[in-house]
Amino acid sequence: MADLVLILSILVATMRAATPLLFAGLGELVAERSGVLNLGVEGMMLVGAAVGFAAHAVTGSFVLGLLAAILAGAVMAALFALLTLRLLANQVATGLALTIFGVGLSALIGLPWAGVPATGLPAALWPGLAHDSPALQQVLLLLDPLVWLAFAAVVAVDRFLRRSRAGLTLRAVGESAEVAHALGTKVLRIRFLAVLFGGAMAGLAGADLSLAYTPMWVENMTAGRGWIALALVVFSTWKPWWLTAGALLFGFVTIAQFQAEAFGLSFSPDLLATLPYLATIVVLVLISRDATRLRLAAPAALGKPFRPSD
């Protein structure tokens, strides 16, 4: 029984740790499939985290916090889309600037709440509030609705991209904007919507960190998860299920690192903290070594600006 609880708790904790990566990664995956490379994921996540926390603290509503975070991420993405799609700014430079902007903006927004734990969150979400329930139930309580939502989003995005007509059009735009335009597709509109979706998901990922996972606001609390999400998208060869595998791997190593500390494995804590990042990158590089597969799976128009001829 104790073993079962342990295994289950590792599994659950892995899923929990993977959730913010899934949200952010799925959003970026959709944006990149439409041919837009947005390196501002980290910045959009941070703004989402700060705005979500602030909105929750002000209104007291968990759902309003999430919605505010989604909106904040989308607004950041709209700014990026305006610069890169309409004004044809360089996508890489604009994305990096967006991240830098997001770091500063989120610190400013979150200033009044820095280090204050979130209060009044829905009880069912929090394992700590369920101390008196049996061990197994405690473990399952870790799986809050956001975890389920993230995994549902994987299924939805995968089906959207592979099965739906709109998903096909989105992939076509990412493959060749010129050909899609010649076929009468509104390339810029589709890219705008895809980037907006990416921002909304990044905002949600941020709120997931500050309202559910941690739950508190700390400056720079994403700790590079936005970058990991970006890397996951590439190494997953733009496929939602591979992205999920990468996110779970990251989650698992994060948890394993805590467990190792609990078992008294003495190691430099700083070195140990790099392990999830290192392990995820190494494994994904090994998986996606096949250059031809990578080339065929990559959206051919990724990062290339498109200006309609008329």
Partner 1 sequence: MTDSPAPPPDAPTPLLAVRGLSKRFGAGVANDGVDLTVMRGEIHALLGENGAGKSTLVKAIYGVVAPDAGTIEWEGREVAIPDPNAARRLGIGMVFQHFSQFETLTVAENIALGLGGRESPDALTPRIRETARRYGLAVHPERHVFHLSVGERQRVEILRCLMLAPKLLILDEPTSVLTPQEAESLFAVLRRLAAESCAILYIGHKLEEIRALCHTATVLRSGRVAGTCDPRRVSPTELATMMVGSDIAEPRRRASQPGRVVLTVSDLTLEPDDAHGMRLDGIRFELRAGEILGIAGVAGNGQKELLAALSGERLSRRTAIRLGAEAIGALGPVARRRAGLAFIPEERLGRGAVAELSLAENGMLTRLAAPVVAAGLVRRGAARALAKRLIERFKVRAAGVSAPAASLSGGNMQKFIVGRELDARPLVLLAAHPTWGVDVGATVAIRQALLDLAEAGAGIVVVSEDLAELFEIADRIAVLSSGRLGQAVAVSQLTLEAVGVQMAGQAAEERLDAA
List of residues contacting partner 1 (CB under 8 A): 163-165, 168-169, 171-172, 175-176, 179-180, 182-185, 292, 296-297, 300
Q: In the complex with partner 1, which residue's Cβ is closer, 184 or 269?
A: 184
Check if the beta carbon of residue 206 is closer than 8 Å to that of residue 49: yes
Say how far apart CA 143 and CA 139 lie, in whole Å. Answer: 8
Q: In the complex with partner 1, which residue's Cβ is closer, 93 or 296?
A: 296
Say how far apart CA 37 and CA 120 lie, in whole Å. Answer: 38
* Cβ 210 to partner 1 shortest distance, Å: 38
Burial of residue 149, with CB atoms counted within 10 A of its CB: 0-12 exposed, 13-18 middle, 19 or more buried: middle
Structure token digits, residue 107:
């610190």
Question: How far lies 160's CA from each of 167, 276, 280, in Å?
Answer: 5, 30, 26
Contacts 24+ apart (CB under 8 A), 147-150: 147/15, 147/16, 147/19, 150/18, 150/19, 150/22, 150/23, 150/26, 150/208
Check if the beta carbon of residue 202 is closer than 8 Å to that of residue 24: yes
Q: Distance between alpha carbon 152 and the CA centroid of its chain, in Å? A: 14
Q: In the complex with partner 1, which residue's Cβ is closer, 111 or 168?
A: 168
Structure token digits, residue 78:
């709209």
* Cβ 185 to partner 1 shortest distance, Å: 8
Structure token digits, residue 46:
């941070």
* Cβ 65 to partner 1 shortest distance, Å: 37
Q: Distance between alpha carbon 1 and the CA centroid of its chain, in Å? A: 34
Q: Half-sphere exposure of 302 toward its Cβ, with a 13 Å CA cutoff? A: 20
Q: In the complex with partner 1, which residue's Cβ is closer, 12 or 31?
A: 31
Q: In the complex with partner 1, which residue's Cβ is closer, 175 or 219?
A: 175
Q: In the complex with partner 1, which residue's Cβ is closer, 131 or 165?
A: 165
* Cβ 298 to partner 1 shortest distance, Å: 9
Q: In the complex with partner 1, which residue's Cβ is closer, 194 or 218?
A: 194
* Cβ 237 to partner 1 shortest distance, Å: 11
* Cβ 175 to partner 1 shortest distance, Å: 4
Q: Distance between alpha carbon 160 and the CA centroid of its chain, in Å? A: 18
* Cβ 209 to partner 1 shortest distance, Å: 35
Say how far apart CA 237 and CA 296 lie, in whole Å. Answer: 9
